[in-house]
Amino acid sequence: MTAVGDDARPADEQRSESATLDERGLRSLVSTVYLPAAAYGIGQGAAAPVMVLTALDLGASPALAGLTVAVVGLGQVVGDAFSGQIVGRFGERLSVIGASTLAAIGVVLCLVAPSVVVLLGGILAVGLANAVWGLARMNYLSTVVPFAWRARAMSLFGGAMRLGFFVGPILGAGVIWIVGVRGGFLVQLVAVICAGALMARLRDPAGSRAGTSTVGLRAVVRTHRRLLCTLGMGSLLLGVARSARDAVLPLWSDHLGLSPSTASMIFGIAAAIDVACAYPAGHLMDRFGRTSIAVPSILILALAYLLVPLTGSLGWFAAVAMVMGVGNGFGNGVIMTVGADVAPPTGRAEFLASWRLTHDAGFLAGPLSIAGLAAIAPLVVSIAGAGVLSATGAVLLGRYVPRYTSGDRAHSGS
């Protein structure tokens, strides 16, 4: 289905559509983009539950063990600062190979870590690799996928990662039962190697700027500071809205006295809804514009956060968790799609790195802000704060997505 006319799109987008994907469309990317994304997500999902447990086994305090999860986000934020230069200089293929190698080294460190310091070093290395790996694939899709399919391509990529994250803990549980708590890292190691091998088969797109001089992050921020301070702030708050649920739902389930197994089941159902919403969200964005999904997705999350303190039973809590799954699922691919829309033809990878930095910073800030507020105020206040921040993000996205994205300009006829 054709979403917009050629005359409504920037020249670089029209050029990228002329000779990118063949007649198979997005199906041609299954084995080289979407399956590797799912595999990489499986690795992340398998490792997520065992990072804290491994730290505890190594003698870490509960507070220090809890911070291990945040170290992954910290690595991604730090990695965003230089991933643009790496992808711009070496191209997508070599960048993926290098990032997969770094991730494998980090996972091996986690597997053999004799101390918490070594464990944290391995986790940080994985976070750094995630930044480069994610940017390389985002830059590739933004270059080769025709504009009319862009949102579907990005949403499917995000959905594939989420599917892997959903499957990963299930596979990890089986391996943990056989080899012990670090079995989750073993699953991650195999997944990272498989994902890197699959994506290494993909050639850099025609017209790639690999090997040319790159633009520094500071120069990118200076050139695009207005966009990053407006639309980028909306991206950051969407990151907060999507990641805060990882802290809100466990805290409130504990407040309600639910068992860990019951809470885990609720998480699993919400994750399944999350995955199911990915492709429909991309289709709607391609047909009706980016705002049609960007704003409703974060508004749904805002409403869900405000409803959480009103739930006093398992049924109502599960219902709100499902609503969060819908909001988060429809948010899959939004930031990648908008970033691809606003990225300049020159310095694309470097710009996308700074764009990812806004969202990843929000992902890091979300759980940390909830934990910080919960430490100094009633839990209800911290959850309500997540709702207010999400609503603020909706206002910013509603105002600036149509202003900056070619997709919404085309659909509005401006």
Task: Say what the pLDDT of residue 302 is.
Answer: 96
Task: Say what the pLDDT of residue 213 is.
Answer: 52
Overall fold of domain 1-203 = Growth Hormone; Chain: A; (1.20.1250)
More confident residue, 57 or 295: 295
Same fold, 1-203 and 215-414: yes
Q: What are the boundaries of each domain within the chain?
A: 1-203, 215-414
DSSP 3-state of 211: coil
Task: Say what the pLDDT of residue 158 is.
Answer: 85
Give the model confidence (pLDDT) of 124-179 as tens digits: 999 999 999 989 888 888 888 887 888 888 888 888 888 888 888 888 888 888 88
d(CA 7, CA 73): 40
| Whether residue 305 has pLDDT greater than 90 | yes
d(CA 54, CA 135): 29
Give the predicted TM-score (pTM) of the model: 0.79
Task: Give the CA radius of gyration of the chain.
Answer: 20
Question: Are the beta carbons of 130 and 72 closer than 8 angstroms?
Answer: yes
d(CA 395, CA 388): 11
Give the model confidence (pLDDT) of 348-381 as tens digits: 888 988 998 898 898 888 878 887 787 788 889 9
| Whether residue 409 has pLDDT greater than 60 | no
- The average pLDDT across 17-43 equals 73
| Whether residue 414 has pLDDT greater than 50 | no
Please give the single-letter amino acid code of residue 411.
H
Q: How many CB atoms lie within 10 A of CB 19?
A: 11
More confident residue, 363 or 316: 316
Q: 63: pLDDT confidence band, cut at 50, 70 and 90? A: low
Q: 19: pLDDT confidence band, cut at 50, 70 and 90? A: very low
Task: Say what the pLDDT of residue 33 is.
Answer: 86
Supply the DSSP string of 71-107, one letter for each residue. Answer: HHHHHHHHHHHHHHHHHHHHHHHHHHHHHHHHHHHHH
d(CA 232, CA 238): 10
Give the model confidence (pLDDT) of 208-257 as tens digits: 555 555 667 677 788 888 999 999 999 999 999 988 887 788 778 888 88
Share of the chain above pLDDT 70, in %: 87
| Whether residue 386 has pLDDT greater than 70 | yes
Q: Is 202 left (phi over 0), alpha (psi -120 to 50) or beta?
A: beta
Task: Say what the pLDDT of residue 244 is.
Answer: 85
d(CA 304, CA 319): 9
Task: Say what the pLDDT of residue 16 is.
Answer: 40
d(CA 126, CA 75): 7
Cα distances from 116 to residues 60, 67, 130, 256, in angstroms, run 7, 11, 21, 32
Cα distance from N-terminal residue to C-terminal residue, the chain: 21
Question: Are the beta carbons of 335 and 238 closer than 8 angstroms?
Answer: yes
d(CA 317, CA 319): 5
Task: Say what the pLDDT of residue 215 is.
Answer: 65
d(CA 311, CA 318): 9
Give the largest CA-CA distance in the chain: 62
Give the model confidence (pLDDT) of 166-191 as tens digits: 888 888 888 888 888 888 899 999 99
Homologous superfamily (CATH) of 215-414 is: MFS general substrate transporter like domains (1.20.1250.20)
| Whether residue 262 has pLDDT greater than 80 | no
Q: 11: pLDDT confidence band, cut at 50, 70 and 90? A: very low
Residue 357's nearest CA partner among 165, 122, 78 is 78
Question: Are the beta carbons of 38 and 161 closer than 8 angstroms?
Answer: yes
Task: Say what the pLDDT of residue 271 is.
Answer: 81
Residue 233's nearest CA partner among 54, 19, 123, 398 is 398
Q: How many CB atoms lie within 10 A of CB 294?
A: 31
Residue 158's nearest CA partner among 361, 330, 355, 25 is 330
Which of 194-208, 275-289, 319-333, 356-370 bottoms out in mean pLDDT, i.e. has the lowest? 194-208
308: its two tokens? 């959480």
Question: Are the beta carbons of 164 and 39 closer than 8 angstroms?
Answer: yes
Task: Say what the pLDDT of residue 181 is.
Answer: 83
Question: Are the beta carbons of 127 and 71 closer than 8 angstroms?
Answer: yes
Task: Say what the pLDDT of residue 209 is.
Answer: 55
